[in-house]
Chains A and B, each alone.
Chain A
């Protein structure tokens, strides 16, 4: 549905986006990660046709955004950063306006407005003017606007920014549900959101894509991915470390912390270790040594660690 090819944008001498290419098909939810100022919003603005690209091509549903902007824009629903809306209008007026400009008339318009009001829980504020609303409602009003014409492509720039945990959960559920039938791109700073919602994620840093894969694939790039953490009661950490270091599969054994007779120890596997094997051999040692094992789990890898390693290469701490 969305094809981005060698997309670049420069503002004067500054290169904001540098030769980005990716594709999103129907049924996919692409999460867009990156530090502030990495070029996420600029990329989204080019895809939605708000700013023209300096180089490269964007096509949505087969329509080039520069050559056939109207046809492409018809397919897109867009939630810009900070969710702008007309402050002096009521929620109902605003939604009717956006429905009308999307070409909905009469009954279809009424149905569309009712549908998004229900989906975004806006019944209570329908006749309030936007400027009197709290940030969460304002955000949802703008979100409602973006899905009013049931678009095939959704571009959401930080859709959960400024929402409370319950609202965040609602919006995530909504995105995941809509992602089954639409092509969705959304940007976020919240990494757990990527795991919860996305089928694929890209990490953008300084205008370039530095990682592209499913959340699981990205997590596997974490240093601690595949490591096994154990908690042993009534045992000194040093002894545990010493015993576990003898494991042939262990590359490195670290004390995580030691607290009131409990020891947390992490075993990093050698790279060719098959998942599960390390945990099994550790549990055998524990049985043999009669440890009071309270916890044993294999780490999945943490997205925030991957994110930091990728986007801050200069300050990376080599382990």
Chain B
């Protein structure tokens, strides 16, 4: 119970940190603009002529590729740069509570940004009769994917006191997670005629696992995939922080 209240305190501070600087507002505005642009211009929302948000969700893995590391890059590198990590880690809390608190804060922030995309739901419901269950499902998938990217950024942010370095490393890792399930890449692998390999590589991709959610399928394997990326990355964050101190 006590540990939960510690996590809550850290989360509250971290969330406050987002909103006391322009970062939060800039991020939300850009996120919404880009989401709108991809959905309506690049995704051809109207041209499709169907009441679904496919053109909205298809772009999420790419949109998150740059925006989520931008949110996560400061989590630990900022603490190291300011030296506040010395304060934080000499408080009567465990490293896990600090990691979890920070992660939850930035995840909540992303959730807020995602919630603010609600006008697309209104739009599509106004124009036709979409399957709102599918939309809900895709939102859940999108959230989990954002969480996975975020945990990776959290890990790379613990590696360095330089936010730019942390940003670039996490973009590369996230890009890898996209590309290993991206059709052009999987087609290339298909030519090797080793279906097992293709399947193994593609199973590491967020694309493969996000697809199910977009079709309205809540598959436990997909959920476990994202949760295990989060778990693994946060665990690694703890290991990195511990080794930095020694």
Query: A interface vs B, CB < 8 Å?
Result: 45, 48-52, 69-71, 73-74, 76, 78, 80, 82, 84-89, 93, 97-98, 100-103, 129, 142, 145
Known: A101-B6, A101-B9. A50 touches B20 (CB 8 A): no
Asked whether, in the complex, the Cβ of B82 is within 8 Å of the Cβ of A76, the reply is no
Using known A-B contacts A101-B9, A101-B10, A129-B20, determine if residue A85 contacts B90 with beta carbons closer than 8 Å: no
B89 at interface by CB-CB < 8 Å: yes
CB of A100 within 8 A of CB of B9, answer yes
By beta carbon, the residue of chain B nearest A94 is: B13
**B90 interface neighbour in A48, A52, A103, A129, Cβ under 8 Å:** A48
Contact A101 B17 (CB under 8 A): no
B92 at the interface (CB under 8 A from A): yes
Instruction: Give Cα distance in the complex from A84 to B10, angstroms.
Output: 17
CA separation between A305 and B154, bound complex, in Å?
A: 50
Please judge, given known A-B contacts A52-B245, A70-B92, A101-B10, whether A78 and B17 are in contact too, CB under 8 Å: no
Most buried by B among A48, A101, A129: A101
Contacts of B12 in A (CB 8 A): 97
8 Å CB interface, B84-124 against A: 84, 86-87, 89-94
Interface string of B1-18 (1 = CB under 8 A from A): 010001001101100110
Chain B nearest Cβ from A256, distance in angstroms: 46
- Nearest chain A CB to B1 CB, angstrom units: 12
**Smallest beta-carbon distance A309→chain B, Å:** 33
- The reply to whether A85 and B91 form a contact with Cβ atoms under 8 Å apart is no
Q: Which of A52, A74, A85, A87 contacts B87 (CB 8 A)?
A: A85
Contacts of B92 in A (CB 8 A): 70-71, 73-74, 101-103
Task: Decide yes or no: A89 and B87 within 8 Å by CB, A52-B246, A102-B92 being known contacts.
Answer: no
The count of A-to-B residue pairs whose CB atoms sit within 8 angstroms is: 71
What distance in Å separates the Cβ of B36 from its nearest Cβ neighbour in chain A?
Answer: 29
- Nearest CB of B to A205, in Å: 24
CB–CB B84/A84 < 8 A: yes
Is the pair B93, A70 in contact by a Cβ cutoff of 8 Å?
yes
* Known contacts A52-B245, A84-B82, A84-B84; A89/B90 CB under 8 A: no
Contacts of A101 in B (CB 8 A): 6, 9-10, 91-93
Query: A73–B91 contact, CB under 8 A?
Result: yes
Q: Is the CB of A76 within 8 A of B90?
A: yes
Does B128 interact with chain A (Cβ within 8 Å)?
no
Among A52, A69, A129, A142, residue most surrounded by chain B Cβ atoms (within 10 Å): A69
Whether the pair A51, B91 counts as a contact (CB closer than 8 A) is no
Q: How far is the CA of A74 from the CA of B2 in the complex (A)?
A: 13
Query: Known: A70-B93, A97-B13. Contact between A45 and B86, CB under 8 A?
Result: yes
User: In angstroms, how far is the closest chain B Cβ from the Cβ of A159?
Assistant: 15
Interface check B195, CB cutoff 8 A: no
Contacting residues, chain A, for B10 (C-beta < 8 A)? 101
What residues of chain B lie closer than 8 Å to A97, measured between beta carbons? 9, 12-13
**How far in angstroms is the closest Cβ of chain A from B90?**
4
Instruction: Give CA–CA (A45, B6) in the complex, Å.
Output: 22
Shortest CB-to-CB span from A174 to chain B, Å, is 20
Report the separation of the CA atoms of residues A89 and B6 in the bound assembly, to the nearest whole angstrom.
18
In the A-B complex, the 3 residue pairs with the closest CB atoms: A84-B83, A73-B92, A74-B92
Docked-complex contact A86 and B82, CB < 8 angstroms: yes
State whether A82 touches B6 (Cβ < 8 A): no
- Cβ of B220 under 8 Å from chain A: no
Q: B9–A78 contact, CB under 8 A?
A: no
Decide if A89 touches B20 in the complex (CB within 8 Å). Answer: yes
Q: Provided the pairs A74-B92, A102-B92 are in contact, do residues A84 and B87 lie with their beta carbons within 8 angstroms?
A: yes
Most buried by A among B84, B89, B92: B92
Which one of B2, B86, B91 has the greatest number of beta carbons of chain A within 10 Å?
B91
Q: For residue A52, which residue of chain B has the nearest CB? A: B246
User: B17's contact among A88, A100, A103, by CB below 8 Å, is which?
Assistant: A88
Contact A89 B17 (CB under 8 A): yes
Q: Are A78 and B93 CB-contacts (below 8 A) given A52-B246, A85-B84?
A: no
Contact residues of B between 67 and 89, Cβ < 8 Å to A:
82-84, 86-87, 89
The docked-state distance in angstroms from the alpha carbon of A145 to that of B6 is 17
Q: What is the bound-complex CA distance between A51 and B85, given in angstroms?
A: 11
CB pairs A–B below 8 angstroms (26 shown): A45-B86, A50-B86, A52-B246, A69-B94, A70-B92, A73-B91, A80-B87, A82-B83, A84-B82, A84-B86, A84-B87, A85-B87, A86-B17, A87-B82, A88-B17, A88-B20, A89-B13, A89-B16, A89-B17, A97-B13, A98-B91, A101-B9, A103-B2, A103-B92, A129-B20, A145-B87
CB distance from A233 to the nearest CB of B (A): 56
CB-defined contacts of A49 to chain B, threshold 8 Å = 89-90
Flag if A102 contacts B91 (CB, 8 Å). yes
Q: How far in angstroms is the closest Cβ of chain B from A201?
A: 24
A69 partner residues in chain B, CB cutoff 8 A: 94
Query: How many Å from the CB of A274 to the closest CB on chain B?
Result: 49
* Contact A80 B91, beta carbon cutoff 8 Å: no
Q: Give, as a whole number of angstroms, the nearest-CB distance from B154 to chain A.
A: 18
Q: Which residues of B contact A142 (CB under 8 A)?
A: 87
